[in-house]
Chain A
Amino acid sequence: MELQNLSIEKIKQGLKNKTFSAKEIVQEYLKKIKEKNTKINAYLTVCEELAFSLAEKTDLKISKNQELGELEGVPLAVKDNILVNGLPCTAASKILENYIAPYDATVIARLKKAGAIILGKTNLDEFAMGSSTENSAFGSTRNPHDLERVAGGSSGGSAAAVAANLALVALGSDTGGSIRLPASFCGIVGLKPTYGAVSRYGLIAMASSLDQIGPMAKTVEDCEILFRVISFKDDKDSTSVDVSVFKEKLKKVSPQKLVIGLPREYFLGGLDAQVERIIEKVILKLKNAGFEIKEISLPHTQLALAVYYLVMPSEISANLARYDGIRYGNSTVFESPDADLLTVYLTTRQRYFGAEVKRRIMLGTFALSAGYYEAYYLKAQKARTKIKEDFEKAFQEVDLILTPVSNHPAFKLGEKTKDPLSMYLEDIFMVAVNLAGLPAISVPAGFVGNLPLGVQLIARAFQEDLLFEAARLIQENDF
């Protein structure tokens, strides 16, 4: 079995024709994981037992000639902030080091039903806070293309697992670029779905008005198949919507000839010459395929990162209040029998949260506190409206927007960890999409030296179809 060239379709054919069994697929991937994971650190947990029991179900279906699911036998890696019943779910934080998930996230239940085989849980920046997976409490993930470089973040473990053939597809989560940046750095496809397109029940919350679970895969085709399986309305997540209702509305507006916008603000200040060369090549491909290219303006682009770094920490400070040493997770409660409740809070959070998590909770608490709320949080929410309106206006003229994912390929480990602001700037091309709730895809478009680099396409809400259509024309990778 050649893992390098596998796809969802090939697995389906191979299982049907009995070229291989699901058990053999699992054995191959586990072998590869054993061989490579110590170096790459993509997985925090490998779940052999669960993987074999899921494979057994698939093989039983095949032996009985039963109908197969859309993802039957497909080996999947899951970011370790998504709950899989019975497996550890650490969010790469010391505070959840010993936490075992008591139920399946809705997406996991759906994936199991579709026949997917879960291989393990992947590394991330602690609570998904970071752009390089260096903020993990359990060591950095390394980029399979160059072990001295980061995999990107925060879904770095998922991206590296797919790129290194330690899983065929993976789930990530994206709050401000956490699927798209690692996808770009590792040379794979990553989709941040429309806000509401995928249920977040069972996702460890970071910033609730921004978080989305999304698919990561080697090819646009596999990414699309995975997305179709996980996108549906879930009663357990009140922000999830019935996508078909929106789709009906959108059909009426879709024109014959598709127009792609290049937002001038994303190209100001000059891109790196090699990145520019890749973008130009993408533009040429799209033109040749019959797309019209048009320059557009998103005038409030320069505000997006400032808005993001107020809204996101504010929501974090509220969401992470639950880690109090009382409900679940690690706690200092046993240490001093006489300590009062406040001391338990203060010391638990001091000891078990990492530096970046503390920084963001502090920033968010500041932005929401009396005397600063109006100057910071409320102002950011108003500017968020402006950013959203920019996109609404742009999408009256164009169907898709093309931008870089970043102005460089994967950087070296340790290069940006000293200055938090320089790490925050990594997200500059991606955060506006989350603020506006739009879908965006990062698709491999070329190489800078031996390092892959993706470009980003953004669409109207619930027009993932268009993203896949255009991304298929762009994708260029070495798999």
Chain B
Amino acid sequence: MVSLKEVLRISKLARIQLSDAELEKYQKELSSILDFVEKLKEVDLENIQPTSHPLSIENIWRKDKVKERDSELRKKLIEKAPLKEQDFIKVKSVF
């Protein structure tokens, strides 16, 4: 069973505030899912290469050059931000 303290730590890392009731709920649910995935421990996976991606595709490179972009789209994208000032997305102070 995952401890409550652990669930709280994870919720902070995940940047999701959880109520006490939610913490308890997720403690149970995460534990039951983690029990389920325990079966991975039964297989010998020594010296196996991990797969992060189903196709063996290669990196695609391009020149790091400034491209002309649709200024209307740029405007539309910035407008999506809840808080903005002129042409900038405004961010709350970190501290």
Contact = CB atoms under 8 A, between A and B. Distances in A.
Interface of A: 99, 102-103, 195-196, 209-210, 238-239, 241, 300, 302-303, 305-307, 309-310, 317, 321, 324-331, 333-334, 339-342, 344-347, 349-350, 353, 358-359, 361-363, 365-366, 369, 375-376, 378-386, 388, 420-421, 424, 434-438, 461
Most buried by B among A359, A366, A437, A461: A366
Q: Is the interface of A mostly helix, strand, loop or mixed?
A: helix
B82 A325 contact: yes
24 contacts: A102-B73, A102-B80, A196-B57, A238-B57, A303-B39, A305-B36, A309-B37, A321-B15, A326-B92, A327-B89, A328-B81, A329-B80, A333-B83, A340-B93, A345-B15, A353-B16, A362-B11, A362-B14, A362-B30, A365-B14, A385-B48, A385-B51, A421-B32, A424-B33
Contacts of B54: 195, 209-210, 388, 434-438
B61 to A, nearest CB: 10
A375 to B, nearest CB: 8
A99 B82 contact: no
Interface string B24-67: 00100110111011111101010011111111010110000000
Q: Is the interface of B mostly helix, strand, loop or mixed?
A: loop
Interface residues of B, number: 49
B81 A326 contact: yes
Contacts of B13: 365, 369
B55 A239 contact: yes
B52 A381 contact: yes
Contact of B16 (A309, A350, A378): A350
The 5 A-B residue pairs whose C-beta atoms are closest, nearest first, are A437-B54, A381-B50, A328-B80, A346-B17, A102-B76
B40 A362 contact: no
Contacts of A241: 55, 57
A119 B50 CA distance: 43
Nearest to B25: A355
Contacts of A383: 40, 43, 45, 48
A337 to B, nearest CB: 9
Interface string B9-23: 011011111100010
Nearest to A195: B54
Contacts of A340: 92-95
Nearest to B22: A358
Contacts of B93: 340-341
Contacts of B51: 381-382, 384-385, 388, 435
Contacts of B59: 238
Given A362-B30, A366-B10, A326 B57 contact: no
Nearest to A326: B91
Contacts of B77: 102
A308 to B, nearest CB: 9
Contacts of A102: 73, 76-77, 80
Given A333-B82, A362-B16, A386 B26 contact: no
A375 B53 CA distance: 19
Nearest to A358: B16
A361 B14 CA distance: 7
